[in-house]
């Protein structure tokens, strides 16, 4: 059990039968009255963010999130199939559960699947991925000196800004946490 007075960013707790991650918190001690903890919490299953206040002495059970490395195999309509690398068991996830990661993953790529009480709820792509640029404006000689960027579409359908010297067919490294170009491979 963890008390509301000990909340930290990133902590996962069970509140009213639901699992939440602490997005932000603030200990408030007004001049009059009792202290309280103002929080912004995110439901890990639905993704909804709520603001709530708690008494610092309230206690909540800590939620244990299991993280398992799995391989993305393919999609079939609205279902996306992932394989456990140890047991070769396949699990289907719906589009809502994988939507954030889809911009950066392609078939046969290893990802982290998050589970709560045996139920998968989220997909986390690797921190860095290498993807091919399938569409961008061609670079013009002399553009590289001034810096700047142009939009590019990657093989997964994601769009991001890349330097002017990147051309169609180039393989680039992308930071999936920020969605930013890192380097050309």
User: pLDDT tens, 63-121?
Assistant: 888 999 999 999 998 899 999 999 999 999 988 788 888 899 999 999 999 888 888 88
Question: Residue 86's pLDDT is what?
Answer: 93
Question: Residue 149's pLDDT is what?
Answer: 85
User: pLDDT tens, 30-78?
Assistant: 888 889 999 999 888 777 889 999 999 999 999 888 999 999 999 998 8
Question: Residue 139's pLDDT is what?
Answer: 67
CA 13 – CA 150 distance, rounded (Å): 42
Question: Residue 85's pLDDT is what?
Answer: 92
Contact 97, 123 (CB under 8 A): yes
pTM beyond cutoff 0.85: no
Q: Please report the DSSP string for 8-69 in residue order.
A: -TT-EEEETTEEEEEEEEEEE--SSS--EEEEEEEETTT--EEEEEE-TT-EEPBP--EEEE
Question: Residue 94's pLDDT is what?
Answer: 87
Residue with tokens 């963890």: 2
CA 3 – CA 176 distance, rounded (Å): 33
Question: Residue 82's pLDDT is what?
Answer: 95
Question: Residue 21's pLDDT is what?
Answer: 86
Around Cβ 41, how many Cβ atoms within 10 Å? 24
Say if strands 18-28 and 150-154 run parallel, antiparallel, or are unpaired: unpaired
User: pLDDT tens, 135-168?
Assistant: 998 866 655 556 678 899 999 999 999 988 888 9
CA 167 – CA 75 distance, rounded (Å): 29
- The tokens for 36 are 């309280």
CA 138 – CA 13 distance, rounded (Å): 49
Domains and CATH numbers, the chain: 2-60 (2.30.30.30), 66-124 (2.40.50.140), 128-184 (2.40.50.140)
Question: Residue 11's pLDDT is what?
Answer: 86
């Amino acid at each position: 059990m963890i008390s509301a007075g000990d909340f930290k960013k990133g902590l996962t707790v069970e509140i009213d039968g639901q699992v939440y991650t602490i997005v932000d918190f603030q200990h408030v001690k007004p001049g009059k009255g009792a202290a309280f903890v103002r929080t912004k919490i995110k439901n890990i299953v639905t993704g909804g963010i709520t603001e709530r206040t708690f008494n610092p002495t309230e206690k909540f059970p800590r939620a244990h999130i299991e993280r398992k490395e799995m391989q993305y195999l393919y999609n079939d309509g609205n279902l996306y199939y992932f394989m456990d690398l140890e047991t070769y068991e396949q699990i289907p996830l719906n589009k809502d559960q994988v939507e954030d990661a889809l911009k950066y993953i392609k078939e046969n790529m290893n990802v982290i699947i998050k589970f709560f009480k045996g139920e998968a709820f989220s997909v986390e792509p690797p921190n860095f991925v290498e993807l091919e640029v399938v569409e961008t404006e061609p670079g013009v000689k002399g553009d590289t000196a001034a810096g700047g960027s142009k939009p590019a579409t990657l093989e997964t359908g994601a769009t991001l800004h890349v330097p002017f010297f990147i051309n169609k067919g180039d393989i680039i490294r992308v930071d999936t946490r920020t969605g930013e170009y890192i380097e050309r491979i």
